């Protein structure tokens, strides 16, 4: 995942996709994509919710709430292609890379170091991306849980960047599906994996209930900050 220029076009499509998502009950399965085509915005997505959103009101509220980020960027023409009462399979596994020595483990310290001088690259269209616009059941709960794991790795454990693959399903040994890949050594870290499996309960629902109560927009408006819920300490996490 890459840091986005605050107020940039990529930032705005991500922010709008999450804002639209916030109008759908969190227990529903939803994926909302926003595409900036310069002259108009395409709102594409699927949700299990049957309640049809009134997009003009949502756009007006969005522009008022986030006016400081929109400035002279126009969101006047939208094409609503959101499908309601849709069947979406729950996302059962995702992979993501996380980094140490940074205020937000989703971003590498080199990105954080050069963030203030970041210049957005011009693209033909700008499309929102995961996790923005994705409901908890569509992989966002796994993403948050992996961050929760990463923040609990003891500070004296030698790690810079890890790619975690986490599944809601158990493997043939009855363990939670988990792969811990050390990006520095380019190999799986079985020692760390074993310690994680010993300590964490993988109660995705419990963490999800906490994350339903927080403001997800800060992940974009203040990306170098982190949800305190993801940094709660797991006791007795010792790596032998």
Taking the chain (240 residues) in runs of 10, the rounded mean pLDDT of each run is 89 97 98 95 98 96 93 84 98 98 94 77 94 98 98 94 97 93 96 96 97 97 96 89
156 within domain boundaries: yes
In this structure, how many other beta carbons lie within 10 angstroms of the beta carbon of residue 119? Answer: 7
**CA 56 – CA 174 distance, rounded (Å):** 49
pLDDT of residue 116: 67
pLDDT of residue 236: 85
96 within domain boundaries: yes
240 within domain boundaries: no
176 within domain boundaries: yes
Query: Which stretches does DSSP call E strand in the chain?
Result: 30-36, 41-47, 78-83, 93-99, 126-127, 161-170, 176-182, 187-188
Q: Cα separations (Å) of 157 from 60, 114, 160, 194, 211?
A: 48, 26, 9, 14, 27
Overall number of domains in the chain: 1
pLDDT of residue 30: 98
239 within domain boundaries: no
pLDDT of residue 231: 97
**CA 70 – CA 68 distance, rounded (Å):** 6
36 within domain boundaries: yes
236 within domain boundaries: no
Range of the domain at 99: 9-231
1 within domain boundaries: no
pTM value?
A: 0.96
pLDDT of residue 114: 76
């Amino acid at each position: 995942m890459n840091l986005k220029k605050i107020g940039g076009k990529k930032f705005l499509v991500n922010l709008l996709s999450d804002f639209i998502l916030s109008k759908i009950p969190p227990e529903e399965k939803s994926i909302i994509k926003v595409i900036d085509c310069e002259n108009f915005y395409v709102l594409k997505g699927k949700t299990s919710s049957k309640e049809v959103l009134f997009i003009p009101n949502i756009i007006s509220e969005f522009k008022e709430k986030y006016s400081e980020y929109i400035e002279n960027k126009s969101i006047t023409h939208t094409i609503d292609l959101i499908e309601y009462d849709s069947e979406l399979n729950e996302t059962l596994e995702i992979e993501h890379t996380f980094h140490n020595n940074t205020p937000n483990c989703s971003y590498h310290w080199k990105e954080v170091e050069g963030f203030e001088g970041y210049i957005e690259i011009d693209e033909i269209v700008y499309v929102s991306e995961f996790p923005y616009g994705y409901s908890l059941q569509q992989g966002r709960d796994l993403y948050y849980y992996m961050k929760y794991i990463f923040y609990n790795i003891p500070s004296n454990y030698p790690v810079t960047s890890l790619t975690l693959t986490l599944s809601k399903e158990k493997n043939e040994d009855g363990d939670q599906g988990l792969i811990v890949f050390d990006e520095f050594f380019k190999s799986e870290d079985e020692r760390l994996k074993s310690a994680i499996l010993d300590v964490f309960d993988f109660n995705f629902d419990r963490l999800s209930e906490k994350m339903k109560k927080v403001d997800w927009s800060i992940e974009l408006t203040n990306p170098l900050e982190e949800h305190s819920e993801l940094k709660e300490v797991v006791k007795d996490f010792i790596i032998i």
